[in-house]
Amino acid sequence: MLDLVIWVPYSSTSQTLRFKEVSNSETNDDYIAFDYHGASTGIWRKAVFNRSQIVGYAIGPADEA
């Protein structure tokens, strides 16, 4: 599984969104899409972010801690 961090602009700062247990990630010039397991809900969901609306993102192996 992968972990994903997305930075979203919010006023003059940015907001950090963290997703754990990410799978089926797909990205192109327009969007980044992925499935993730909601930590508080326990439900698998699909998320799609418009790349022109985010500051950046990082995806990598899940933290083993």
How do the domains of the chain map onto residue ranges? Answer: 2-61
CB 36 within 8 A of CB 47: yes
Asked whether residue 1 carries a pLDDT value surpassing 90, the answer given is no
| Closest by Cα among 60, 43, 64 to 5 | 60
Q: How far apart are the first and last CA of the chain?
A: 14
Asked whether residue 65 carries a pLDDT value surpassing 70, the answer given is no
Alpha carbons 60 and 38: distance in angstroms, whole number: 18
Alpha carbons 42 and 57: distance in angstroms, whole number: 23
Give residue-wise pLDDT tens across range 13-63: 778 999 988 999 999 999 999 999 988 899 999 999 999 999 899 988 877
| SS3 category, 57 | strand
